[in-house]
Amino acid sequence: MNFKEAQTFIIASILAIISFSCSLNYSKEAQNFEKKPNFVFKNAILDQYEENSLNLRINFMELEIYDSDRIWAGKNLRFFKIDKKSFEKGNPEAELKGRAGIIKIDEKNNQYFLGQKVFFEDLKEGLMISGDAFFWNKNENLLYGVEDGSVKVKRGDELYISGSGFIANTLSKEFEFLNSIEGKIQTKNEENENEENSNQNSESQEP
C-alpha cells in the first residue's frame, strides 16, 4: 500500500450525534434520559442499499429506533461493507468489516458514533484500525477518534502506529495523527535489505 502524504483536516464542530442520548447506557448522561424508542429489536440485521445494491450490513444484539428523530442505536454489533462488484456478480463479499460495543446512527445527517472497543479491517488493503471510540461523518468521508483517545493502526509487519488525534479520509484512505505517536514503519529500503540478508543467509547455508 502506498501511503500518500497526509493532509490536514479541520473539524469545525463536534457532531450533534454525541449529544443525543438514548435508553442504552452509553454514558452517565444517558441515565437521566427519559425518551423511549419507538421500536426495539433483538438479534437484528440492518441492510443498507445504494442504487439497488447491498452496501452495508450490520448485525446487532439489540437495536433501538427513534423514529421521529431518525436516530438508530445499537449494541454489540458487527458490520460489513459490501464490495459493489462482487454483489453485481451475485457473490457478495465484504471489503470492510468491523465490530463495536455500541453505535449511534443519525440517519438524517449520515453521522455515526461507535464506541466500546471498536475495530475496523480493510480487507483489500490489509489495514486494521482499533480504538475506544470513533466518529464517522459519511457525507464528508471523515473518520476520527476522540481527541485524547488512543488509536492503533496496523498493516502486516510493515506498519504499526499508536497515538491520539487520529483522523482519516475514508475515500482517499489517507490518515494522520494530530498528536504524538509511537510505532514502526518499515520503508522499502528496509524491505530490500531484509530480502538481501535473507538471500545471503540462504546462499551461505548451501553446501
pLDDT tens across 175-205, in order? Answer: 899 888 898 887 765 555 545 544 445 555 5
Whether the CB-CB separation of 169 and 142 falls below 8 Å is answered with yes
What is the spatial distance between Cα 79 and Cα 168, in angstroms, rounded to a whole number? 19
What is the spatial distance between Cα 113 and Cα 109, in angstroms, rounded to a whole number? 12
* pLDDT digit string, tens, across residues 79-131: 888 887 777 777 778 888 999 999 999 988 989 999 999 999 988 888 899 99
Closest CA to 82 of 51, 43, 117, 105: 51
Q: What integer best gives the mean pLDDT of the chain?
A: 77
Per-residue pLDDT at 172 exceeds 70:
yes
Task: Classify residue 189 by burial, with Cβ atoms within 10 Å: 0-12, 13-18, 19+.
Answer: exposed
**In the predicted model, what is the mean pLDDT of residues 140-159?**
89
pTM, entire model: 0.68
188 alpha carbon, distance to own chain's centre: 27
Task: Classify residue 205 by burial, with Cβ atoms within 10 Å: 0-12, 13-18, 19+.
Answer: exposed
